[in-house]
Structure 1
């Protein structure tokens, strides 16, 4: 790889990559070797990026975790977030919530946030009016010392009219406008399975999940739903979501952190939608995605 390619792969500025390479060479710290599993991850990254037109893709090596690979995704997601904060190219970063994002923030070291601010990009309260156990915005603020803002509302309003009333409240509208203006958005991908976090966190009920499945939805991103071909569905349902509209997401850089066998179908749908600019995924899931998604 060239120096520029290395910088892009690591998510750091070219100048920083140059300094690191020069210092390592000068001090005799460089040792070149190839590990088969790492090389396999790089091939998966390249293939995913090429097939789905991604600007960024990181495949975390398989750590033989049972179930959801939270450790692998957490380490890879933490590295991505840390690099983006240190690069300082995004003054405002929007974050979702969920298990994978919580794992990523949990694996982050204490770093200075600099000029970066963070904002939640969807409401985070469930129907029991308790804080979402996987909310990450406060943990991210603690890790970085940066300013952080949360939308103090549930994920869904009862109606689109109720949503308008909620967003008209003092203080709420300002935070929501921030969420819609984030230049980088980092979020998880939701599935439509019986153990989906939307159900387990009581953000929607079984009847609503049945309606979403009936519309053809197989994947969710920030309150928006997509069918297997990547088309937006259940738009009347998404109009109730306290989250940026699809148009705002398409105007931003959206990077998803997702993994696990149950998320393969949902992740393929989001990759086909064209909404994602980047993806952090584990090795096993990446291989399954490529095996399931045939080229257009």
Structure 2
């Protein structure tokens, strides 16, 4: 076994001792001959690699009711609503598990699948929650550029990890989310590599994307994909959210502005007939998720009860 396989084996042992055997971290450290922080890292690795799975065999009535209301209102294929402990706690780990379950159903198929991924914390966490499975016949493709203007890579990209976990092919969109000029965008889009990635994405059976908010805490702004001046422009045009970089208003209509004209992500209109699954939660994301639903961009939704409650309240 290589070093990573040895580490996975040790992580699995630690997980068995902890979750099945009920042993303390000190007990596990003594048995495995590692430090207590080492045990914590092994358990974290076990969770990250999908070695630990949790199944709750009882529906949560409140979440089920919210799910049904949203699914029926927007004619979705499915709407999974996960519980949230409080307004102050991040629901990303819960969304990740629910998303990984949906994504795994596609990856486990033996026939070749092409799957598109957006970016964002929830999408990345979903891929981290996947178990490893040998599926070299599958392809994973980016819908959004993975480079910031300063040259740094997108830390929330999940395509590379998904391909690593399955042995599948990977196709990255080697562009910034927003080009500096319209001319720069046109030059990028004319490149054979850009067109080739786009052709692969068009063949995707499903796409899993995040939903971004447009405000001072927007990921696009915080991660330097857009400038403060560009954020101000979007806010002045009443943008409330974005899907793979494309800004939209409260009704889900795409906003035409200087920023959107330089977005390099693949056009959302190309995927109207595709299975577009969004992962996003938190009451602050509610307006953006609702906009995406109103615009008819989504076929399915994985969210938490805070965002779901906001959406259902707006339906009344």
TM range (shorter): 0.7 to 0.9
Kindly report which structure 2 residues correspond to 1:226-237, keeping only aligned pairs within 5 A, or say none.
226-234=248-256, 236-237=258-259
Instruction: Show the counterpart of 2:207.
Output: 185
Instruction: Give ranges in structure 1 of 5+ residues lacking alignment.
Output: 1-32
Question: Following TM superposition, by how much is the alpha carbon of 1:62 offset from its aligned partner in structure 2, in angstroms?
Answer: 2.5
Is the counterpart of residue 149 in structure 1 residue 174 in structure 2? no
TM-score, normalisation: structure 1 = 0.82
TM-score by length of 2: 0.77
**Cα pair distance change 1:239/1:184, threshold 3 Å:** farther
Distance 1:143-1:63 versus aligned 2 partners, 3 A rule: farther
Quote the residue 2:307 is aligned against: 285
RMSD: 2.1
Q: Do the aligned partners of 1:229 and 1:272 also contact (CA within 8 Å) in 2?
A: yes
Q: Would you say how many aligned residue pairs link Structure 1 and Structure 2?
A: 261
Task: Choose which of 246, 253, 266 in structure 1 pairs with 2:275.
Answer: 253
The structure 1 residue matched to 2:64, chosen from 38, 42, 50, is: 42
Partners of 2:116 and 2:57 in 1: CA distance: 36
Partner of residue 185, structure 2: 163
Structure 2 residue matching 1:73: 3-state secondary structure: helix
**Which structure: larger Rg?**
2
Match of 2:48 in 1: none
SS at match of 2:315: coil
Match of 2:102 in 1: 80
Q: 171-180 vs 76-85, which deviates more?
A: 171-180
Q: Is the 8 A contact 1:258 1:280 kept in 2?
A: yes
Quick one: distance in 2 between partners of 1:287 and 1:84?
Answer: 29
Equivalent-residue separation in structure 2 for 1:143 and 1:274 (angstroms): 32
Cα separation, partners in 2 of 1:235 and 1:248, compared to 1, 3 Å: farther
In the TM superposition, 1:43-58 aligns within 5 A as 43-58=65-80
Within the candidate set 180, 192, 212, 2:234 is matched to 212
The structural deviation recorded for 1:89 is: 7.2
